[in-house]
Amino acid sequence: MKSASYFVMFRWLLWREVVLAWRRKSDVLSMLAFFVIIASLFPLGMDPDSRLLRTIAPGVVWVSALLASILGLGRLFASDFADGTLEQLMITPQPLILIVTGKILAQWLVTGVPLVLISPLLGLQFDLAPGGTRMLAVSLLTGIPVLNLIGAIGSALTLGIRSGGLIVTLIVLPLCVPVLVFGAGGNLSLVGAVLALTLVFAPWAAAAALKISVE
């Protein structure tokens, strides 16, 4: 019975987050535009050597995806904290980790999935072969959730702090270096290992940080 209640709460929270993100679709579109612009500037500013472009393509797209993902991390809990919704959610009988996990999953659906879908088009600018494009998309599909999970910890730690977005960036960027290196290098097994590790620990850490920040 309790598990059914948890599932209903999680489904409602996920639906709520997606609907709210759709109402603020300008934020999502700005993030996607930032991703495309950053990744597109590199081919324009370099020697149009196909071999060079193919070599740097994974790194450029991954760095662009990382920077674009960070744009929305500061708002992960901030809007609910500002209007009191977060405190109301925290006093419900549902585990806080369930709420945190739902918000992280919604963040990935709203921002991460579009980044993955756009990445093959960006691969064309770098003259990537179909196999390379698929590898890049799969690495982003596996790695972007890591960015969201780690970003949730930073967002929870800086909740209510002035210039929290800048502090989140300073916290998240160093922690994302391993997945950035593995993802850009095409090491899918290592990216998957990092994802498994963060799936286990990040929601708990974010929930604990959220309790500290709110209290």
Task: Please state whether the predicted TM-score (pTM) of the whole model is above 0.85.
Answer: yes
Note whether 96 and 90 are within 8 A (CB): yes
- Residue 157 has a pLDDT of 86
- Residue 164 has a pLDDT of 63
Task: Tell me which residue range forms the domain holding 126.
Answer: 2-214
Number of domains present in the structure of the chain: 1
The Cα 67–Cα 195 span in angstroms is: 19
Note whether 123 and 186 are within 8 A (CB): no
Query: What is the pLDDT averaged over residues 109-122?
Result: 90
Share the mean pLDDT of the chain. Answer: 85
Angle 100-66-203 from CA coordinates, rounded to 5°? 20
Q: Is the pLDDT of residue 1 over 60?
A: no
